[in-house]
Amino acid sequence: MESKIGSQAIVVYACPAFYQLKELWEASEHGNLIKKTNFAQPSKLAGHGRYTYLKAGNAGRAYSDPEDILSFDFSERIDNLIEARSEVGSNRTFITQIGNGINTVILEVTGFRTLYQDIVTYLAPGAEGNELALALVRIDAFCFLTKSVWRIGV
């Protein structure tokens, strides 16, 4: 998925660099969650069953065969996406592009293809012709299948 999405989105494995729920809340409350999380590119984790942070940022270790993993700077990648986002135009266009991109990628992942199509068909009866509704359904189906969360913030 990471290679198919390219520079249109960020696909990472996020590993919080703390383990107490209180620390999670404090990082969120003070706007430090990204600084206190480790991000690894999935392509660098291929062949490993586990991953843990060494420190917040982009340095971690993959296991079973221990290997230090250095990933990209997440904040810098976010800044690049924000710049690219300004060229997209409206939020409607942006969300529609995300939904279309997810659809293209997920249909190539054989393990998810059929279930994804079933979920989209079930959730979007009559969404044909409504690009925004269909995009949101595609995003929901993707989040369900990947056990991920999608949030919109300001």
Q: What is the pLDDT of residue 5?
A: 67
Q: What is the pLDDT of residue 41?
A: 85
* pLDDT tens-digit series, residues 97-135: 889 988 988 888 768 889 999 999 998 887 778 999 999
pLDDT beneath 50: ranges in the chain = none
* Domain chopping of the chain, boundaries: 2-77, 89-146
Q: What is the pLDDT of residue 153?
A: 61
Q: What is the pLDDT of residue 30?
A: 93
Residue whose C-alpha is closest to residue 38's, from 49, 20, 54, 22: 54
Q: What is the pTM of this model?
A: 0.66
Strand, helix or coil at 69?
A: strand
Q: What is the pLDDT of residue 107?
A: 87
Residue whose C-alpha is closest to residue 134's, from 87, 83, 98, 108: 98
